[in-house]
Amino acid sequence: MKAVLRLSKTKIPILSLSSQQRSVLFSSSPAGAANPRPRSSFLDETEGSSAAYRHALKFQRPTTIGWQPGLFNSASFIGTVVQPLMALGPRTNDYLSAYTILRVSPSHRSRGSFKILLRMQDELAKICFEHLKENDFIYVSGRLLTSTMADPNGNLRLFYKVLVKELNYVTQRRGSMCRKNEERQSDEGRAAVLEKYRNRLHLWQVFFSNPYEWWDNRKNKLYPGSPDFKHKETGEVLWLSPNDPPWVKKQLKLLDLEMGLREQVGRRARVSKWEFDV
């Protein structure tokens, strides 16, 4: 009698593994390398390629794009607003256009600069009218345009301008702010010195118009710092200076000569009088 062997149809579960898990299970690497760095096919190809191929790939020709009506030249600048914002044309609720001038320096170390016209429209123009002021330090970017205008001599010239699409205020570097403060203080100092010099020249003119209203202390100063001349009523004072213009020195010589002659005439008159009395 033949023995019949029956195999039961039992379902064996099949474990589904990802490609990464299969590489871990069947890898001879230690467990710490279970998560290897993924490698791209591009790196696999270039790392194994020659240096000439990598150089050619790095400096390959830029991509060519098709021409579109929306393509235009754009520009961005950082600079200082040099004049108040002005309306360009009539202001209406539907349309508003404004312009100003921006002074741009190539770098914070450069003393040279150039100016370019900024034009703002619609909402940006309204915002600028509310906030933008002269001497504001701003960043602008937008479409670069040109326009033809006549100069004071009547010759047509080409000017560049930016149709601004973005505007931001820029926090100036501490060094540039200090330098501007120093320049402003220096300008104010020069203006004060010039004003003082002008006032001094005017006072010399007042002195020479009527020198007999002034005390001449040149030969009898109380101390070295005393003024050379002092007005008898107002108390205004004058000192001689090596920086005095030539006309001041010339007028003083003429005045001293005149005073000397008068003193000689006075002494002669007194001597004659005494001789007459004797």
Query: Are both 151 and 94 inside the same structural domain?
Result: yes
Q: What is the CATH number of the domain that holds 85?
A: 2.40.50.140
Tokens at residue 3, please?
């023995």
Domain end marker among 171, 200, 225: 171
Look at residues 239, 258, 255, 259 and name the one whose alpha carbon lies nearest to residue 247. 255
**pLDDT for residue 90:** 72
Q: Any idea what DSSP says for residue 243? A: T
- Is 137 within the bounds of a domain? yes
Residues in the chain where the model's pLDDT stays below 50 = 1-35, 39-43, 269-278
Final residue of a structural domain among 171, 204, 220: 171
Q: Does the reported pTM lie above 0.75?
A: no
Q: Cβ–Cβ contacts within 10 Å for residue 150, how many?
A: 9
User: Count of domains in the chain?
Assistant: 2
Same domain, 140 and 196: no
Q: Is 133 domain-assigned?
A: yes
Identify whether residues 203 and 234 lie together within a single domain. yes
Do 124 and 204 fall into the same domain? no
Residue 45 has a pLDDT of: 52
Q: Is residue 207 domain-shared with residue 259, that is, in the same domain?
A: yes
Are residue 99 and residue 145 in the same domain, yes or no? yes
Is 65 contained in some domain? Answer: no
3-class DSSP string for 110-152 = CCCCEEEEEEEEHHHHHHHHHHCCCCCEEEEEEEEEEEEEECC
Q: Which of 136, 171, 206 is the last residue of a domain?
A: 171
Q: Is residue 19 part of a domain?
A: no
pLDDT tens string 249-273: 888 888 888 877 666 555 554 444 4
| pLDDT at residue 176, rounded to an integer | 56
Tell me, what's the pLDDT at 180?
62
- Same-domain pairing of 163 and 196: no
Rounded CA-CA distance 47/54 in Å is: 8
Together in a domain, 199 and 249: yes
Domain that holds residue 93: 74-171
Which of 161, 141, 168 lies closest to 76, judged by CA?
A: 141
Instruction: Note whether 206 and 163 are same-domain residues.
Output: no
* DSSP β-ladder status, 114-121 and 156-169: parallel
Same domain, 97 and 165: yes
Q: Is residue 229 assigned to a domain?
A: yes
Would 37 be classed as within a structural domain? no
Q: Does residue 49 form part of some domain?
A: no
Q: What is the pLDDT at residue 118?
A: 95
Domain shared by 93 and 158, yes or no: yes
Residue 144: predicted pLDDT: 93
Q: Establish if 61 belongs to a structural domain.
A: no
